[in-house]
Amino acid sequence: MKQVYMDHSATTATDPAVTEAMLPYFSEKYGNPSSLYTIGRQARRAIEESRQKVADLIGAKKEEIIFTGSGTESDNLAIKGSALRNRTKGDHIITSSIEHHAVLHTCKYLEKNGFKVTYLPVSKEGLIDPVDVAKAITAQTILISIMHANNEIGTIQPIAEIGKIAKEKNIAFHTDAVQTTGKIPINVDDLAVSMLSISAHKIYGPKGVGALYIRKGTVIEPQLHGGGHERNIRSSTENVPGIVGFGKACELAKERLPQESNLAALRDSLIKRVLEIKDSYLNGHPIKRLPNNANFRFSYIEGESMILNLDMKGVAASTGSACSSTSLEPSHVLIAIGLRPEEAHGSLRLTLGRENTQEDIDYVLSLLPEIVNKLRMMSPLAR
Amino acid sequence: MTDGYSEKVMDHFANPRNVGEIKDADGIGKVGNPVCGDVMWIYIKVKDNILEDVKFKTFGCGAAIATSSMITELAKGKTLEEGLKISRANVAEALDGLPQVKLHCSNLAADGLHAAIKDYLEKTGKKLS
């Protein structure tokens, strides 16, 4: 059976060149980068080369990159680290209602521990208004955290504008760029961010490694204490193979950035054809969206049923339906853009990647109308 | 998601039995709530105290569709009394189990059948012996 992977915002396959770069660091060059002998120094050098490659992808300096274990850890480190460090200056954090759970749940945790958090609303396309950010700032505001692009609906936020506001007020500004890295050009100076989270496995790198960009002059409290690794900000023996793979993935991402934006053309043909299905809608912004993201909703049917039907035909996709989550709550993002829960249950996310072709789109379109029809025939909500 | 769905659940999901409405149904049971993501309508046709035909329409996840399909098979040919005794657990068992997280929200099929039988009893004024 044909296999079509259209869930690249969940994860990507590790590029063979990345795997190849990692392999020597498992069993030949296995040294601890903190050790002084040859294989230790080899590992140290490999980490520093990777750090440069990560920095190059986002227009940062090598010294401003801290390796972590994941995008989630980077978000936790940025937000908790910044909040705790600046506690004496204030107790107010501004974020949005559509952040990834790594940001939202970290903010909830800080609320339980005495911080105050403003969760900004979004438009029905999922956009945050920079004016709302400016209005929410108080004398107590110590941190703003707004994602670069949303992982579900793909809406790209006006980060540079928000960055300008934060800079004028001298407030630390963090962005979760896990979804945008390697898909659209990123420059930390243009975005005017003080911290930026990225993850390797979304850009054809390995799972279990991420990074936090921390602008020179931005100070945060470490969240892992120990041997003082990563400039004393993130103690832990470095995940050398993972970091080497991450570096290689960033190098490839930089080279391939022009091709990544070509995905938009493929994505647009997907959107156009899916919307020919009766009672189907696009979630998110029509233009300001990730080049690889398409997110739909279909009236009267439920997402998990769609995913299972697609999976039976070899297509991997995802949904914001409650029934596919362990929490049994519909996607907070779809609710925040104003959808009713029953509309959120009928969502389908297709996220493209490097290996997808027009043929893949044709294959999905050869299945989807029939699946939607079959489920509607079964649904008491359909009229 | 499919992790934890038995082969039987997937079979009933992929090839649901007795889908559709019964135009001149003797009883209809409507359970669930679109807000929660599951709505089930169970239709019954009764003759001589026997569930002669049972059909369903369901909006919901894999488990919701599979349990709906299964209840129609379990109930067909049974007496009304027997139908009322089919429990949520019976449906889950007949499907070789359901994932823990799906037990509460999706296993509405037994409730739907009971509601359809009660609807029939109310409409006809009949009482069970």
* ipTM rounded to 2 decimals: 0.93
The SS3 of residue B55 is strand
Shortest CA gap A327–chain B (Å): 9
DSSP character for A128? P
Quote the pLDDT of residue A171.
98
Same domain, A308 and A206: no
Quote the pLDDT of residue B102.
84
Pick the catalytic residue from A308, A323, A381, A382: A323
> Dihedral angle at the C-alpha atoms of A64, A197, A47, A239, nearest 10 degrees?
140
Same domain, A45 and A62: yes
> Would you call A380 exposed, middle or buried from its count of C-beta atoms within 10 A (0-12, 13-18, 19+)?
buried
Nearest CA in chain A to B20: A378
Q: How would residue A259 be classed by pLDDT, with cut points 50, 70 and 90?
A: confident
Q: What CATH number is associated with residue A296? A: 3.90.1150.10
Which residues in chain B show pLDDT less than 50? Answer: 1-2
Same domain, A356 and A237: no
Task: Report the C-alpha gap between A101 and A72 in whole angstroms.
Answer: 8
Residues of A with Cβ-Cβ distance to B65 under 8 angstroms: 305, 378
Query: Which range of residues forms the domain containing residue A349?
Result: 4-11+258-378
Picking from A229, A252, A275, the residue at the C-terminal end of a domain is: A252
Residue at A383 is within a domain? no
CB contact under 8 A, A323 and B19: no
Domains in chain B (CATH in brackets) are 7-124 (3.90.1010.10)
**How crowded is residue B88: how many other Cβ atoms within 10 Å of its Cβ?**
18
Tally of domains within chain A? 2
Pick the catalytic residue from B14, B36, B89, B101: B36
Q: CB of A329 within 8 Å of any CB in chain B?
A: no
Nearest CA in chain A to B5: A308
Backbone φ, ψ for residue A186 (5° rounding): -130, 130
**How crowded is residue B17: how many other Cβ atoms within 10 Å of its Cβ?**
16
Task: Compute the 3-state secondary structure of chain A and give helix, strand, coil in percent, each to the nearest 5.
Answer: 40, 15, 40
In chain B, DSSP finds a helix count (H) and a strand count (E) of: 6, 3
Task: Report the C-alpha gap between A247 and B39 in whole angstroms.
Answer: 49
Same domain, A224 and A265: no
Q: How far is CA A13 from CA A24, A94, A241, in A?
A: 20, 34, 16
Task: Report the C-alpha gap between A208 and A212 in whole angstroms.
Answer: 14
Q: How would residue A326 be classed by pLDDT, with cut points 50, 70 and 90?
A: low
Shortest CA gap B129–chain A (Å): 33
Same domain, A313 and A171: no
Quote the pLDDT of residue B105.
60
Same domain, A22 and A145: yes
Residues in chain B: 129
Quote the pLDDT of residue A139.
98
Q: Token pair for residue B116?
A: 């359809």
pTM: 0.95
Same domain, A104 and A204: yes
Picking from A216, A237, A252, the residue at the C-terminal end of a domain is: A252
**How crowded is residue B81: how many other Cβ atoms within 10 Å of its Cβ?**
11
Q: How would residue A301 be classed by pLDDT, with cut points 50, 70 and 90?
A: very high
CB contact under 8 A, B105 and A328: yes
Backbone φ, ψ for residue A333 (5° rounding): -70, -45
Residue A314 has pLDDT above 60, yes or no: yes
Residue A327 has pLDDT above 80, yes or no: no
> For the packed helices A71-85 and A101-112, what is the interaxial angle rounded to 10 degrees?
30
Residues A116-119: contacts with CB within 8 Å, 24+ apart? A116/A91, A116/A92, A116/A140, A117/A92, A117/A93, A118/A92, A118/A93, A118/A94, A119/A95
**A-B C-beta contacts closer than 8 Å:** 78
Same domain, A232 and A343: no
Same domain, A352 and A219: no
Question: Which carries the bigger pLDDT value, residue B2 or residue A105?
Answer: A105
Nearest to B57 by CA among B46, B72, B47: B72
Nearest to A302 by CA among A361, A366, A374: A374
Same domain, A44 and A168: yes
The SS3 of residue A4 is strand
Q: Token pair for residue A207?
A: 């799972």
Task: Report the C-alpha gap between A317 and A315 in whole angstroms.
Answer: 6
Residue pLDDT, tens place only, A106-145: 999 999 999 999 999 999 999 999 999 999 999 999 999 9
Residue pLDDT, tens place only, B105-129: 667 999 999 999 999 999 999 888 7
Residue A368 CB partners (closer than 8 Å, separation 6+):
A274, A277, A310
Same domain, A201 and A281: no
The SS3 of residue B85 is helix
Q: What CATH number is associated with residue A173? A: 3.40.640.10
Q: CB of A114 within 8 Å of any CB in chain B?
A: no
Picking from A220, A252, A284, the residue at the C-terminal end of a domain is: A252
Task: Compute the 3-state secondary structure of chain B and give helix, strand, coil in percent, each to the nearest 5.
Answer: 45, 20, 35
Q: How far is CA B9 from CA A364, B74, B107, in A?
A: 24, 14, 12
B61 is catalytic: no
Same domain, A201 and A269: no
